[in-house]
Structure formats: structure tokens, C-alpha cells
Amino acid sequence: MDKQAIIEKAKARLGADGKITCEQAMKLADAEGVSYGDMGDLLNEFKIKVGACQLHCFPNPVCSPTAK
């Protein structure tokens, strides 16, 4: 897994609120062949928050309903 390449792709998808949507994060994880858990860990590592959470697929506080 090329962490830096994935993070650059995630950053390119950030909305005006500075977050990547849950749907976009899941699609990126699928496209890069990483699990949702690994994607959540990676987003946490680089302090990227997930917004518009749908299913709480990411087992990290980044995707919790109370994370702001």
C-alpha cells in the first residue's frame, strides 16, 4: 500500500468542510484494494476526517457520529 499516494487521492476529494465523505472513502478503499479499517487508520494517521457517514464502516473515531 502506497500510503502517500492514497492520502493525496483522499485530499483531492476533500469537501469545503475539509472532510472526505464516507462514500468517497469507501470507494477509494475499494479502488486501492485496502480494507475500510485500514483506510480509516490511514485517514486517522493523516488527520483527515470522514463526513456524511453512512454506515460507520470505519472502526475509528474518524467516522463516529460525534467526531467533528
pLDDT in tens, 22-55: 889 999 999 999 998 899 889 989 999 888 776 6
Whole-model pTM: value is 0.78
Cβ neighbours for 8, distance < 8 A, ≥ 6 positions apart = none
- State the alpha helices, DSSP H only, in 1-68: 3-12, 22-32, 36-45
